[in-house]
Structure 1
Amino acid sequence: MTASAAWDERHDAPIRQWADLALFHPQDERTHYVISPAPDRGEKHPLRTLFQPGRGSDLIVVLHGAIARDKYELPRFEWLGTLSARTENVLYVADPTLSLASDLQIGWYVGTTEADVIGRVVRLAERVRVTRGLGRVLFMGGSAGGFASLMASSRLPGSRALSFNPQITIDEYYNRFVERFLKVALPEYPDFASARAALPNRLSVLDAYPSTARMLNRALIVQNSGDEFHMENHLGHLARQVSLPADRAVSEDGNLEFDVRYFSDGHSMPYRHVLLRYLDLTLTRWDEERIVKDDDVFPLDEVSTERGSTDESSVDVPIGVSASTVAMTGRDAPTKSTGPLPHAREGQEL
Structure 2
Amino acid sequence: MFKDYTNIIVQYEELYKSEFIYNKPFILTVNWNNTKYEFFINLKPNASNLLVFGSGAYNPQKMKPPVFQRHSWIDHFEDSTIFYNDPTLYLGPINLGWGHGTTDKFYLEDIADIIQIVMDKISIKSQQVLFYGSSGGGFMSLALGGFIKGSKVLVNNPQTVVSNYYESHVNRLFKFSHPQLNKGEILKKFPERLNILELYKKLNYVPDIYYLQNIACGHDMKNHVTPFISGLKSLNETTNFKEVHFDFYFDKELDHNPVDLEKTLYYIYKVKP
TM class by shorter-chain length?
0.7 to 0.9
What CA distance in whole angstroms lies between the structure 1 residues aligned with 2:101 and 2:75?
28
Partner of 1:194: 185
Spell out the pairing of 1:133-152 with structure 2 (5 A cutoff). Answer: 133-135=123-125, 136-152=128-144
1:64 aligns with 2:55: yes
Spell out the pairing of 1:255-334 with structure 2 (5 A cutoff). Answer: 255-265=243-253, 266-283=255-272, 286=273
Partner of 1:31: 26
What CA distance in whole angstroms lies between the structure 2 residues aligned with 1:161 and 1:167?
14
Structure index of larger Rg = 1
Partner of 1:3: none
Aligned-residue offset at 1:69:
1.4
What CA distance in whole angstroms lies between the structure 2 residues aligned with 1:56 and 1:264?
38
As a proportion of its length, which structure holds more strand?
2
Q: Which moved more, 1:84-93 or 1:17-26?
A: 17-26
CA contact (8 A) 1:158 1:216 kept: no
Q: CA 1:53/1:278 → structure 2, altered by over 3 Å: closer, same or farther? A: same
As a proportion of its length, which structure holds more helix?
2
Indicate the RMSD between aligned Cα atoms, in angstroms: 2.2
Partner of 2:145: 153
- TM-score, normalising length: structure 2: 0.88
Partner of 1:86: 77
What CA distance in whole angstroms lies between the structure 2 residues aligned with 1:14 and 1:226?
43
Partner of 1:15: 7
What CA distance in whole angstroms lies between the structure 2 residues aligned with 1:217 and 1:141?
15
Q: Which residue identity does 2:21 align to in structure 1?
A: Q
Q: Gaps (5+ residues) in structure 1?
A: 1-6, 245-252, 287-350
CA contact (8 A) 2:212 2:248 kept: yes
Partner of 2:99: 109
What CA distance in whole angstroms lies between the structure 1 residues aligned with 2:48 and 2:5?
22
* Misfit runs of 4+, over 6 Å: none
Aligned-residue offset at 1:155:
1.3
Q: Gaps (5+ residues) in structure 2?
A: 235-240
Partner of 1:298: none
Partner of 1:208: 199
Aligned-residue offset at 1:263:
3.7
User: Among 235, 248, 253, which residue is 2:225 paired with?
Assistant: 235
What CA distance in whole angstroms lies between the structure 2 residues aligned with 1:205 and 1:216?
10
Aligned-residue offset at 1:121:
1.2
1:178 aligns with 2:167: no
User: Among 122, 128, 139, which residue is 1:132 paired with?
Assistant: 122
What CA distance in whole angstroms lies between the structure 1 residues aligned with 2:84 and 2:102?
17
Instruction: Figure out how many residues of one structure are paired with residues of the other and give that number.
Output: 260
Partner of 2:237: none
